[in-house]
Amino acid sequence: MSDPAEQNPHVEHLVLDDEGGFHVTDEPVDLSGYGWEDWISFAIFWALASTVFYQVFTRYILDDPAGWTEEIARYLLVALVFIGASMAVRKNSHIHVDALYRFLPGVAGRVLSTAVDVVRVLFFGYAAWLNWLLVERIGGQRMAIIDLPMGWVFGAMLFGFILMFLRSLQVTWRHLRQGFSVLERPEIAFEGGEK
């Protein structure tokens, strides 16, 4: 039987040595690809998971459901969606259709791609402003079960929209600097070009 390293020159480390011993080395952990909003979303996710676990435990194990868990889980999910969406804006990984750009001449594709970036910035800026107006008008109302202001929930949404607005400005600036976007060259998304 031949050696796997001889069959494939890209195999650098064998799992089993000549004596049958098991040897594996882990690659170093690289957390540099994560932004600070990723960690906020991570914390909210685990708060949501803990709340839902507590809800299931009290409902099905203790047969005495905690009434506050459903409302808090719903609001945590709202916060997770809006703050977590800024990760997708930063990585430019929201759903988009790039088939049209294959048929457009280079200049027309560039103009349309820039227009998409500008519309995205304007949309997130406008959504943040509308959310600010919403917080001002109904932010003082109380939650249904827990006596906390609804402004906290809408504040998380506002924070998410502001993050998306700022990240969309960064993405637009990056596209202007490099001279193309993932819409024009979708292969860079697979190569890890958008961070």
| DSSP 8-state secondary structure symbol assigned to residue 58 | I
- Our measurement of the distance from residue 19's CA atom to the centroid of its chain's CA atoms, rounded to an integer in Å, reads 46
- Residue 149 bridge partners (DSSP): 142
How sure is the predictor about 190, in pLDDT bands with cuts at 50, 70 and 90?
low
153 close to 78: Cβ distance less than 8 angstroms: yes
Q: Which two tokens stand for residue 66?
A: 């905690």
Hey, how many other C-beta atoms are within 10 angstroms of the C-beta on 71?
16
Of 53-57, 101-105, 155-159, where does mean pLDDT reach its minimum? 101-105
The mean pLDDT value of the chain amounts to: 86
Domain count, the chain: 1
pLDDT recorded at residue 162: 97
193 close to 182: Cβ distance less than 8 angstroms: yes
Report the C-alpha gap between 2 and 66 in whole angstroms. 62
How many helices and strands in the chain, by DSSP H and E? 7, 0
2 close to 57: Cβ distance less than 8 angstroms: no
Report the C-alpha gap between 134 and 121 in whole angstroms. 20
How sure is the predictor about 72, in pLDDT bands with cuts at 50, 70 and 90?
very high
Amino acid, res. 96: H
Q: What ranges make up the beta strands (E) of 33-96?
A: none
Is 195 contained in some domain?
Answer: no
pLDDT tops 60 at residue 12: no
Domain that holds residue 171: 4-190
72 close to 51: Cβ distance less than 8 angstroms: yes
pLDDT recorded at residue 176: 92
Predicted TM-score (pTM) above 0.75: yes
Q: Is 80 exposed, middle or buried (0-12, 13-18, 19+ CB in 10 A)?
A: buried
Q: Which two tokens stand for residue 175?
A: 């596209």
Report the C-alpha gap between 149 and 75 in whole angstroms. 12
